[in-house]
Structure 1
Amino acid sequence: MLLVIGNVFFHAQTNNAEKNIPEKRSYDKLEKEFYSHVGDVNSKSIAESYLKKAKSEKNTIQIAEGYVMLHFGETLPIALKYLDSLQQITRNSKENIYPARIYLLKGNLYFRNDNLQAALNNYILGLKYAKEKGNKRQIAMAHISIASLNNYIGKHAETAKVLRHYAYDTDYMNEDEQKSLKLNLADAYIEINKMDSAYTLIQEGLLDSRKNKNLYRYYQNLGLLGSYHLHLKNYQKAINALLECEKYFFTNTNDKRDQNYTLLYLGKSYAGLQEKEKAAGFFHRIDSLVLKTNYIYPELRDVYTYLIDHYKENNDIEKQLYYVDRFLKVDQVLYTQFRYISRELPRRYDTPELQQEKEDITNELTKRKSLFYIVLSLLLISHLLFINVYFKYKKSEKNYKKIAQDLIQSVNENRVGRKSDGEIKKEISSEPLLTENTEDKTSRTISEDIARNILHELEIFESKDQFLNKGITLGSLAKKIKTNSKYLSEIINTYKGKNFATYLNDLRIDYAISRLANDKKFRSYKIPFIAEELGYNNEQAFTLAFKKRTGTPLSIYLKEIENMSVD
């Protein structure tokens, strides 16, 4: 079905005329009303009111919009006059939509009036100016319009490619435009025999148009469903859908394309059922429409060859000669248009587009080449940094191993035996009690007796490994040994040379150093379990404390224990 792809965005719908005074309505409201009435008797009066309002307010931008509205639905000469007026009033316009918009509108106008040569010329100019102004939406519109010409000369795959690209492009197409493009894409899919894809889009269109009560769009999709069934030779299903479309298109619209293709598909469907008289009847009606509107399209060849063969079978020489003559006239027009479009479209559109694509690819390759050298340089630098880091790591690892080995050796040298229950005694204890006079080491606020008592309690705390209990705080320990936090903190700082947190961590890590070296079973446990056994809340706290206390990571310490055990 040869739909007008370049003009998919404006369709006629039948609605009641507004009773409001148009001149008092806003431009936006008038514009919205117009495009919901395009093609019916109300649209022209709305457009005239719009233009009258714009001229009275001397609003150049809106005057231009008025001329655009007025050219729709007019005969070719009158529509061209309105577009010439548009060109005149926008000749000094700063808007980047001009002059491309004028040529694209003229292209659509010529397309609707079957002057494909003029349509192509204007589309090419529109594309040129759209590119100069960098208007990507207009570039898209030009590509879509030219796709309709590719469709005309049978390049349905190229048409489908363009439509598919823009039908899902939310950057340049609004929702209604996307729906129109999907309608045309479904038609192109039928032509290239992608029937499943076509059916999906048709059903989507039918559902959406019913939901939004858009009768025109509904019957367009229903017509495509008829075409879909025709191609699958489901002739009766095609006829059922198309008879509904016939009633709507001939009662509610004057769109010659919809009317012609509905009759065409009905005729072909009846021909498929071998109901030759009915088929010929629909093809007769098409010929009448062609004579009335002079609307010529490629499938007319099928119409006239069928009628010629039909009357040849019936020995009706007079009608046979009549349709031979009609065929020759139509074929000459089609041949002229086809030859021009087939020759000019590749030369003026495909080749420049390929050249642009080649230039884009060349630029892209140049960018990639530059990017390659940048990435290569970064990789080289990162490689050198990696080597530097690697050797630093190896050096650090060597130092870590030496520290770990010294720790293990120290544990082995200071081992004093095992407890009766099999647990290891504490080999690396916290710093011993200092023997200097307590008066020189403590504040005058703490008596000698209190200091001795606190130190004695700390000895018990250490010897019984109570530091392994989870959740120990300065306050909880002070309460346990019956003193206050201030005294306990001062004694630890004075005699242990560190704050409470460091004191507790050192006790735990020293315990870990010894037990891990001597208790194979304990060493086999997972690190989170070991951390919990040592009183830590999590693995990370334990490993950080171990590294801080020993100067070597826990992993290397454990690895060296195993290595030395094997040795």
Structure 2
Amino acid sequence: MIRKYSFLGYLLILFVFVQPLRGQTKSSNSAQDLLDFNELKEVIAAQPEDSLKLEVAQASLDKARYRLDTLRMANAYYFLSKFNRSNQLRYADSLIVITKGKSYERYPALGYLRKGNVRYEEGNYKEALEFYLIASKSAKENGNELLYLKLKFNIGLLKNTAGEREEAQAIFLEYLNFLDQNPKLKTSNLYNRVLFALTDSYIYSNQFNLAEDYIDKGIQEALKTNDISIYSNFVVYSGMYKYFSKNYNQAIDSLEKGKNLIQKSDEVKTRIAICDYYIARSYQDQGKVEQSMQYFKNVDRILKETEDVIPELIDTYDYLIADSKAKKNLEKQIEYINTLLRLDSIRHANQIYLTKNINERYDTVELISEKEKLIDQLQHDKFLKEETITILIVFLVILIIVATYGFRKSYVNKRRFLRLLEDQKTKESNLLDFVDISANISKKQDIDIPKDVIETVLKKLHNFENSTKFSKKHYTLNSLAKELNTNSAYLSKIINVYKNVNFANYLNNLRIDFAVDELASNKSLRSYTIKAIAEEVGFKNAQSFSSAFYKKTGIYPSYFIKHLEI
């Protein structure tokens, strides 16, 4: 009965949208029977099937075209881009074209947001970021604060994916505070999504106490709003937290529960793979190897099926290869090594995850040696079959490709290492005192700051750069501005214009340059752990230090230290 009434409602709406206006001409009241954004959203949400949602949106578009109503055409294009997956980019482009240059609150920002979301789902994070940035600018210019913060949140998700956890957390917390302070704009879907993002970021940056707080809060909110999908995610994170806390039996229980919920509500295979991975790790750490292998094999199956490579899951193949080797199952060893090589290459093709590449995980020479041993043993034992030979040939081709890539990567890294040393020597031989920069100031863009203030701040920055305080103290923009007797707005603008970076990258670059100088001149420092070196030069942890070092130099600190010792 409910379905009949929904369909009847749809027919009435369709009739209103598509019937021509008989005996009427265009007038000031020509758009009265057209729905605005929120009304159209509610009508579409009420439809029980996507096909009906599409028909309503299309009917709305036809009516808006007839009335030459650009804003309502844009509304219809937006919803068509959400529900017509085969043409979503075309509809988003149409939305952008008809609203570009107009001061609509939502447009063209929502069009760029849709394009960014499509690219994000495809794993094309670089293009997704570009579209999000354009959309953010549009939303800000048109005074849509909520949309602006939503886009900033999406950029935060990209930062979190790229490993820039601290910056992402600041964005997530800002959005959470905004929603708390604006309850009329706070929907359960938005709020739970932010809690989920924060939990994810804290888990993967090993901030387990904070993660626990947000897991508890997320579970409470999900139960309050009956959001089964998000509840299942928090149950999974609860299991992960218990794993890292070494409460393995509790971890397995929560992960199994979360997995069952995911399978019932909305089966996302990669989320199931994460559950299986941490269940396997829990059994493995308890010494229950055979039980763990069943779950690692589930992860392998899902990764092969989806090719959606989550970096942490790659460790699955370390366990599977080791298990096959212990059982002397040569065919499985080859199969798992082949899969590892293929999935790891997919991961690196994304150029997002700042993790070790395949040459660091499996040295090319060792892989070739392992391959030769396997081939010799298979020939000796006369277990070669036609399928096995084919696998080995494919494996050899992959190895050659990987070896070529490895040699090229090694060559590029070596050049970057030598250039870094050369730059460091050049800086040592060209150390000059601060000179009058008044002539250079006039060449820069006008940033609405008195010239004498700019010169004073630059002199103080010069002294700050020549000190090592930045390596001993945690600085924020406000704290440095206070130390230099200026305000944070001036300092931020001056750094952006005269140093060509934002404040965070300015500090990171100083610390990386300092680290390079210290490592090159101080042999004892090279014996420190990466974590200890990071703390020595001003970073909070090894991960943020390695990421910043690679971003500035193109090589990791471990590589730099290793080759200094050669």
TM-score range, shorter chain: 0.5 to 0.7
2:232 corresponds to: 219
**TM-score, structure 1 as length reference:** 0.52
SS of 2:271 mapped into structure 1: helix
Mapped to 1, the partners of 2:95 and 2:112 lie a distance apart of 11
Identity of aligned residues (%): 24
1:174 corresponds to: 186
Mapped to 2, the partners of 1:115 and 1:304 lie a distance apart of 25
Of 140, 158, 161, 1:149 maps to 158
SS of 1:147 mapped into structure 2: helix
Number of aligned residues: 338
Q: Which residue identity lines up with residue 320 of structure 2 in the other structure?
A: L
1:550 corresponds to: none
Greater relative contact order structure (CA < 8 Å, 6+ sep) = 1
Q: CA deviation at 1:36?
A: 8.6
1:114 corresponds to: 123
Quickly say closer, same or farther: Cα 1:110–1:46, change in 2 above 3 A: same
2:53 corresponds to: 46
Maintained 8 Å contact 1:107/1:121: yes
Q: CA deviation at 1:285?
A: 2.8
Of 21, 30, 36, 2:9 maps to 21
Maintained 8 Å contact 2:192/2:230: no
Q: Which residue identity lines up with residue 309 of structure 1 in the other structure?
A: A
Mapped to 2, the partners of 1:17 and 1:248 lie a distance apart of 31
1:103 corresponds to: 112
Mapped to 2, the partners of 1:82 and 1:104 lie a distance apart of 12
SS of 2:49 mapped into structure 1: helix
Maintained 8 Å contact 1:51/1:62: no
SS of 1:154 mapped into structure 2: coil
Of 249, 253, 256, 1:236 maps to 249
Q: Does residue 329 in structure 1 map to residue 328 in structure 2?
A: no
Mapped to 2, the partners of 1:330 and 1:258 lie a distance apart of 17
Q: CA deviation at 1:181?
A: 0.3
Mapped to 2, the partners of 1:115 and 1:339 lie a distance apart of 9
Q: Does residue 318 in structure 1 map to residue 331 in structure 2?
A: yes
Coordinate RMSD, CA, aligned: 3.8
Q: Which residue identity lines up with residue 22 of structure 1 in the other structure?
A: Y
Of 83, 99, 103, 1:90 maps to 99
Maintained 8 Å contact 2:192/2:222: no
**More divergent stretch after superposition (251-260 vs 239-248):** 251-260
Maintained 8 Å contact 2:81/2:114: no
Q: CA deviation at 1:149?
A: 2.2
Q: CA deviation at 1:132?
A: 4.3
SS of 1:246 mapped into structure 2: helix
Of 278, 299, 305, 1:265 maps to 278
Q: Does residue 67 in structure 1 map to residue 77 in structure 2?
A: yes
Trace 1:439-518 onto structure 2 (pairs within 5 A): none
1:307 corresponds to: 320
Q: CA deviation at 1:279?
A: 2.9
1:124 corresponds to: 133
Q: Deviations over 1:221-258 (max 9, x none)?
A: 21221221122122221222222222232233243443
Quickly say closer, same or farther: Cα 1:329–1:202, change in 2 above 3 A: same
Q: CA deviation at 1:99?
A: 2.7
Of 193, 200, 208, 1:195 maps to 208
Q: CA deviation at 1:29?
A: 6.0
Q: CA deviation at 1:57?
A: 4.8
Of 276, 289, 292, 1:276 maps to 289
Maintained 8 Å contact 1:267/1:280: yes
Trace 1:401-440 onto structure 2 (pairs within 5 A): none
Q: Deviations over 1:52-107 (max 9, x none)?
A: 234235454344334333444665x5332332233234345431433332222222
Quickly say closer, same or farther: Cα 1:261–1:111, change in 2 above 3 A: farther
Mapped to 1, the partners of 2:148 and 2:354 lie a distance apart of 20
SS of 1:46 mapped into structure 2: helix
Maintained 8 Å contact 2:172/2:198: yes
Maintained 8 Å contact 2:44/2:57: no
Mapped to 2, the partners of 1:154 and 1:340 lie a distance apart of 7
Mapped to 2, the partners of 1:131 and 1:61 lie a distance apart of 19
Q: Where do 5+ consecutive residues of structure 2 fail to align?
A: 14-34, 356-446, 449-475, 492-566
Maintained 8 Å contact 2:202/2:211: yes
SS of 1:211 mapped into structure 2: helix
1:249 corresponds to: 262
SS of 1:98 mapped into structure 2: coil
Q: CA deviation at 1:358?
A: 7.8
Maintained 8 Å contact 1:22/1:50: no
Q: Deviations over 1:100-159 (max 9, x none)?
A: 322222222222222222222322333344444454334323332222222223222222
Quickly say closer, same or farther: Cα 1:341–1:307, change in 2 above 3 A: closer
1:164 corresponds to: 173
SS of 2:178 mapped into structure 1: coil
Q: Which residue identity lines up with residue 164 of structure 1 in the other structure?
A: L
Q: Does residue 297 in structure 1 map to residue 306 in structure 2?
A: no
Quickly say closer, same or farther: Cα 1:64–1:273, change in 2 above 3 A: farther
Mapped to 2, the partners of 1:36 and 1:225 lie a distance apart of 34
Q: Deviations over 1:332-365 (max 9, x none)?
A: 22223236989xxxxxxxxxxxx99989977756
Mapped to 2, the partners of 1:105 and 1:259 lie a distance apart of 27
**TM-score, structure 2 as length reference:** 0.52
Q: Which residue identity lines up with residue 193 of structure 2 in the other structure?
A: S
Q: CA deviation at 1:33?
A: 6.8
Q: Which has the larger radius of gyration?
A: 1
Of 20, 23, 41, 1:31 maps to 41
Maintained 8 Å contact 1:156/1:192: yes
Q: Which residue identity lines up with residue 248 of structure 2 in the other structure?
A: Y
Maintained 8 Å contact 2:112/2:132: yes
Q: Where do 5+ consecutive residues of structure 1 fail to align?
A: 1-14, 343-354, 368-567
SS of 2:311 mapped into structure 1: coil
Q: Deviations over 1:371-403 (max 9, x none)?
A: xxxxxxxxxxxxxxxxxxxxxxxxxxxxxxxxx
Q: Which residue identity lines up with residue 109 of structure 1 in the other structure?
A: V
2:62 corresponds to: 55
Maintained 8 Å contact 2:119/2:125: yes
Maintained 8 Å contact 1:51/1:63: no
Q: CA deviation at 1:166?
A: 1.3
Q: CA deviation at 1:45?
A: 2.7
Q: Deviations over 1:268-300 (max 9, x none)?
A: 333333333343333333333333333222123
Maintained 8 Å contact 2:78/2:110: no
SS of 2:351 mapped into structure 1: helix
Mapped to 2, the partners of 1:33 and 1:242 lie a distance apart of 38
Quickly say closer, same or farther: Cα 1:312–1:247, change in 2 above 3 A: same
Maintained 8 Å contact 1:152/1:298: no
2:514 corresponds to: none
Mapped to 2, the partners of 1:35 and 1:203 lie a distance apart of 30
